[in-house]
A and B are shown apart, each in its own frame.
Chain A
Amino acid sequence: MSSGLRALGWVAFSLCALSTLPSIAIAQEKDDLDAGAKLEVAESHVTAKLSAMHARRLFVLDTAFPAAEAGKTYVVDGEQGTLEGMFSQGYWSNFAIAPDGTEIYGADTYFEKHTRGTRKDYLVIRDASTLNVLDDILLPNGRLLIVTKKYNFGVTPDGRYGLSYNLAPRTSVSVVDLKLRKYVGEIDIPGCGLIFPQSPNQFTTLCADGSVATVTFDEKLKASIERVKKIFDAENDPVFEHSAWDKHHQMLYLIAYSGRVVPLDLSGAIAKKQAPWSLTSDSERQSGWRPGGWQLSHFHGPSQQLYVLMHRGHEWTHKDSGTEVWVYDVQAQKRLRKVKLIKPAQSVAVSQDDSPLLYTIADGAPEIITYNASGAVRSRLNNLGFTPQVLTVPGE
C-alpha cells in the first residue's frame, strides 16, 4: 500500500470513528442501524410497533390463492385507511384476536419443503404490538384445509382456549390452552362443522342434518353434546358459514341462502331457536335480491345491527359478490338502510365502535374500500396482497 493510500485510509477511519460517536447513544436505544455505518447526519433506524388494540383496526387475511402457501394477514388502520403492518401465515390459514387484544392467533399449516415434505399444523401466537411470534403450538391431528372459513377457528370469550376445526375425516375440534401454551386434545363433533365459542367452556357447531349442537367441556375435555334438531333446512335452504355472530350477546343469526334469518340464542346449554324472519320482502325476492359473497355478513354489537351483502341473482349464486349492503335492526327485524357499494364486494365487516366503519373487500384488483356509517366512501386501500378474503375487527 502506498503512503498516499495509507493516509487516505486513516482519514476514512477517522471520519468513520467520528461518525460513530453520536450513534452510540442511539444504539443504546436499540437503533437497528450498525453504528459503523452511520454519518453525523444519519437518523436513527428503528422497528415500529403497533399501538394498543383499538376499535378501528382491521385485520385482512389474504389467502393468496395463486400461491396459497404464502397466506398472510395485513393490519390496517381503518381510521386512516392505511397499512400498519403484515405478518406471514401458512396454507389456508385462520386468524383470531385475543379478547384482551394483547395477542393475535393464527391457525397455520406448513410443509417442510414449501409444497412438499412433512406437513405440520400449528396454532401460532403473536404479540399484538410487535407482531413477533411468542409461541408455536403443534396441532398433532392437523386442521381442515379449506379456502378459509372464518368460523373454523375461534377463541373462548375468556381467552383461555383456542379451538380449531378438523376433518381428517373424523370431524373434531382441536383444543389449545392459550394460557398454558399447550395442545390439550380433540373433542369429537360427529357430522358437524364450524365453531362459535359462546362461553369459557362451551361452543356451538352446525350440523349436516340441519341440527345445531352445543358442546360443553371441562378441563380434561370431557364433553357433553346437546343437539337440537331441525334448526334449519340443510337440504333445501342451507345457512351460510359466514352467518352473523354476536358473541357478546351469545346470539347467532343464521342466514340461509334464500335470505331467511334464523336467530339462535346460545346463552344456555342448548341452542334456542327464535322466530325466523327474512332479509327480503316478497317483491324483493321476486326481483332476485338475495344474500351472497364470502364473508357476506357481520354484526355490529353496540347497535344490534346486522350487515349483509346483497345482490340480484338466481338460485346458486350464493358466492356472487354483493352490490349493496343492507343493514337491519335485529330486534325490530326491520331494514334500516341500504349502502350502495361503488364496487361489488366479496366480504364485509363493521368496526365495533359507536359510529362504525364499513369495510369491504372489493372485486377485481385487491382493494379494501371503507365506507362511513352513512354510506359515503371514506378511504380506499389498494394493492393489498393477492386475494384478501376474510376480515376481522377487535371486539367483534
Chain B
Amino acid sequence: MKFVSKNVFDCFFESSSRWSAQRISRRSMVATLGRMMVATVALPLLPVYRRAQAAELSSRFARTAQTKDPAQCNYWRYCASDGYLCACCGGGPSTCPPGTTPSPTSWIGSCINPDDRKTYLIAYRDCCGTDSCGRCACLGQEGDMPSYRPQLNNDIIWCFGSSSMVYHCSSAALVGLAN
C-alpha cells in the first residue's frame, strides 16, 4: 500500500482511515471519531475521515457523475470535494499546480466510478501556499457538518501542517479500491 503521506503520524491515521472506510459503517466511524475528538481535546485531527459518500449508485452525486472531465464539479472523484478544483488551476485531480505545496494532511472519502460501478477511496488534499485559484468553485454539502464537529466540516482551511496556511485549490487523488 502506498501512503499519501510519508509522515509517520499521517500514515498511521491514513491507514486507519482506509481500514475503517472498508470495515466500519459511516455512522459508527463518525461517532467514534466524535468521541475521540472530545476525549483528546481535538488531537489528533488529521487526516480526516470525511463522512464517506453513499455506497450505492442511487446516491445523488453518483447519479450525475462523469469520468471524462476533471474540470467539472460532477467529475466522479469530487463526491466530497469542496473548493476550487486544482484541475482548473494548472494542476489536476492528483496534482498540485506549480508554486503550491500539497498539505501533508488529507481526508478520505469514497466515491463511485460510474464506469465500473466500483467504490474507490479518494484522498482530498488542499494545495496551499499561494492565493485562491478562484476558478471552478464546487460546493460539496453531502456529509458537511458544522465546525464544532471540525473533522467533518469543509469550511475549515485544511492546510494544517503545510508550509503555509494559505489555501489555493482542492485535489482528489485516487488512493485505492474500497471493496
A: which residues have CB within 8 A of B?
65-69, 91-92, 109, 111, 114-116, 119, 144-147, 149, 152, 167, 169-171, 188, 190-194, 205-209, 234-235, 238-241, 314, 316-320
Residue of B nearest to A114 (CB): B131
Residues on A with C-beta less than 8 A from B44 are 169
Which residues of B149-179 are within 8 A (CB) of A? 149-150, 153, 155-157, 159-160, 164-167
* Chain B contact residues, majority secondary structure: loop
> Which A residues touch B166, using CB under 8 A?
68-69, 91, 111, 115-116
In Å, the complex CA distance between A146 and B56 comes to 31
Q: Are B42 and A167 in contact, CB atoms less than 8 angstroms apart? A: yes
Give Cα A119 to B144, complex, Å: 28
CA distance A67 to B167 in the complex (A): 10
Distance in angstroms from B147 CB to nearest chain A CB is 5
A169, A207, A239: the one within 8 Å of B45 (CB): A169
| B43 A146 Cβ-Cβ under 8 A | no
The number of chain B residues with a CB under 8 A from chain A is 42
Contact A208 B130 (CB under 8 A): no
Residues on A with beta carbons closer than 8 Å to the beta carbon of B35: 209
Bound CA span A119–B166, Å: 10
Can you pick out 29 interface pairs between chain A and chain B where the beta carbons lie within 8 Å of each other? A67-B132, A67-B134, A68-B131, A68-B132, A91-B166, A115-B130, A115-B166, A116-B164, A119-B165, A145-B165, A146-B147, A146-B156, A146-B157, A149-B147, A167-B42, A167-B156, A170-B41, A188-B41, A190-B41, A191-B39, A191-B41, A208-B37, A208-B38, A235-B27, A235-B30, A235-B31, A238-B145, A238-B146, A316-B60
Highest count of chain B CB atoms <10 Å: which of A65, A119, A145:
A145
* B60 and A65 within 8 A (CB): no
Cβ contact of B147, chosen from A109, A115, A191, A241, cutoff 8 A: A241
The answer for the CA separation of A169 and B125 in the assembled complex, in Å, is 18
Pick the contact of A241 from B37, B46, B137, B146 — CB < 8 Å?
Answer: B146
**Which of these, A66, A92, A318, contacts B144 with CB under 8 Å?**
A318
CB distance from A149 to the nearest CB of B (A): 6
